[in-house]
């Protein structure tokens, strides 16, 4: 081995043992220690199975203290915003899950601008985060921004209702909207397919911006690309929720028992529940948070800074008009 070969050998050894390749492990350990948070909003009229689906998604009971209203009470009820927070731990990873519910939405006789309180709530969370971010103690900021909104669409109809269109158009610049076709077990497979196509066409027709799944990188494996394609084609997700365990073909599964058979919640041939859960939890939770931070919150933040700059400019203009001998605090 000559001298140049020895130098190359030692250079290769140095490159191998620099150590920055362990950075992902350091980030992982720090993130796991800190824990994660995720805020999910559910919206849609009463009776579409919102509570059941949320409990099914996260295997918990977030609505055990809820009081069910009768028809007369629902009609007179105004839209409320309720929060349920639960700490979930799985294989040492901690998740602080916040579910934001909107009881009363779409239940009144006159639903004009019933989405306004929902939009105000999302803006309030942006405002609070902006205040905390601009304050002195920024180390332990709580992120209560809404990362995703599951909007439940009724299966009883011919597509989107005017209320659905108004709600999504009012909020699509503020939050990641994921449309969900509720109570899919009330429809035949062909009806589900037709409704999905109809709803997708109307979403495009009305210019509604729902959450867009990021495109796959060219170096991803074919299986991942296929899963991503299936997710995009599943919009809106046709879902069935159930917390009841029934017996089907000798196995105990979560589902609904009917005189003609059993609908299995976690059977992909019956509904899109598993696809929705995988998207929310396993594959796209971080992307939903990234889009919230980089797009929706940044838009709000830019508007705030622009408004503050305009106010300062107006104040300075007023001062200079009243005292023309002084401009920007100094004499001419």
pLDDT, one tens digit per residue, over 34-57 is 778 899 999 988 788 888 888 888
**Strands 261-264 and 251-258, how do they pair?**
antiparallel
CA distances in angstroms from 310 to 299, 314, 315, 327, listed in the order given: 17, 6, 9, 17
Q: How far apart are the two ends of the chain, measured CA to CA in Å? A: 79
Confidence band for 25, pLDDT divided at 50, 70 and 90: confident
Per-position DSSP letters for 154-173, written without gaps between them: -SSSSS--HHHHHHHHHHTT
What span, in angstroms and rounded, lies between the C-alpha atoms of 251 and 240? Answer: 19
The pLDDT assigned to 10 comes to: 47
Contact partners, residue 167, CB within 8 Å, separation at least 6 = 43, 115, 118, 151
More confident residue, 207 or 230: 207
Confidence band for 206, pLDDT divided at 50, 70 and 90: very high
pTM of the model: 0.80
pLDDT, one tens digit per residue, over 278-297 is 888 888 899 999 999 999 99
The pLDDT assigned to 148 comes to: 94
SS3 label, residue 124: helix
Share of the chain above pLDDT 90, in %: 27
The pLDDT assigned to 70 comes to: 57
Confirm if 41 and 150 have CB atoms less than 8 A apart.
yes
- Count Cβ atoms below 10 Å from residue 55 Cβ, excluding itself: 18
Exposure on the CB side of residue 158, measured as CA atoms within 13 A: 0
Exposure on the CB side of residue 179, measured as CA atoms within 13 A: 31
State yes or no: pLDDT of 113 exceeds 70.
Answer: yes
Confirm if 104 and 79 have CB atoms less than 8 A apart.
yes
Confirm if 301 and 307 have CB atoms less than 8 A apart.
no
Residue ranges of alpha helices (H) inside the chain are 3-16, 23-34, 50-58, 71-76, 116-134, 162-171, 189-205, 222-234, 273-277, 285-291, 298-322
């Amino acid at each position: 081995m000559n001298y140049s070969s020895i130098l190359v050998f030692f250079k290769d050894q140095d490159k191998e043992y620099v150590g920055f390749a362990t950075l992902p492990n350091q980030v992982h350990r720090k993130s796991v220690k800190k824990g994660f948070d995720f805020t999910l909003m559910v919206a849609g009229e009463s009776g579409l199975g919102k509570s059941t689906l949320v409990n099914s998604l996260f295997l918990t009971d977030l609505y055990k203290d809820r009081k069910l209203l009768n028809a007369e009470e629902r009609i007179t009820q105004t839209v409320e915003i309720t929060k349920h927070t639960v700490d979930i731990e799985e294989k040492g990873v901690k998740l602080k899950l916040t579910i934001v519910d909107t009881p009363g939405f779409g239940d009144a006789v006159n639903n004009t601008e019933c989405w306004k309180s929902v939009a105000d709530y999302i803006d309030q969370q942006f405002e609070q985060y902006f205040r905390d971010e601009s304050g002195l103690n920024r180390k332990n900021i709580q992120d209560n921004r809404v990362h995703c909104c599951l909007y439940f669409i009724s299966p009883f109809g011919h597509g989107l209702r005017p209320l659905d269109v108004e709600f999504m158009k009012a909020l699509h610049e503020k939050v990641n909207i994921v449309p969900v076709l509720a109570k899919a077990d009330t429809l035949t497979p062909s009806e589900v397919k037709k409704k999905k196509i109809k709803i997708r066409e109307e979403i495009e027709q009305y210019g509604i911006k729902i959450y867009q799944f990021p495109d796959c990188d060219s170096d991803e494996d074919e299986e991942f690309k296929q899963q991503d394609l299936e997710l995009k084609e599943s919009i809106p997700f046709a879902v069935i929720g159930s917390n009841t365990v029934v017996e089907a073909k000798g196995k105990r599964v979560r589902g609904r028992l009917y005189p003609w058979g059993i609908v299995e919640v976690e059977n992909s041939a019956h509904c899109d529940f598993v696809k929705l859960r995988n998207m929310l939890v396993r594959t796209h939770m971080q992307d939903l948070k990234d889009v919230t931070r980089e797009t929706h919150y940044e838009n709000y933040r830019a508007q705030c800074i622009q408004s503050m700059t305009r106010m300062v400019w107006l104040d300075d203009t007023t001062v200079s008009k009243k005292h023309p001998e002084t401009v920007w605090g100094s004499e001419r």
